[in-house]
Amino acid sequence: MRNHTEQALQSARRLWSEMTLPEVLLWRVLRARPMGLKFRWQHPVGSYVADFYRDAARTVIEIDGISHTMGDRPERDPARDNWLEEQGFVVVRIPAAHVLKNADAVVQSIVLLCAAAPPPSALRAATSPEGGGSDRSF
**Tens-digit pLDDT profile for the chain (138 aa)?**
357 666 655 665 565 567 788 999 999 999 999 999 999 988 888 888 899 999 999 999 999 887 655 566 677 889 989 999 999 999 999 999 999 999 999 999 999 999 987 665 555 455 544 444 444 332
State the Cα–Cα distance between residues 52 and 22, nearest whole angstrom: 12
Q: Is residue 131 part of a domain?
A: no
**Cα(7)–Cα(85) distance, rounded to whole angstroms?**
21
Decide if 6 is inside a domain. no
CATH code where residue 61 lies = 3.40.960.10
Host domain of residue 47: 18-116
CB atoms within 10 A of CB 68: 16
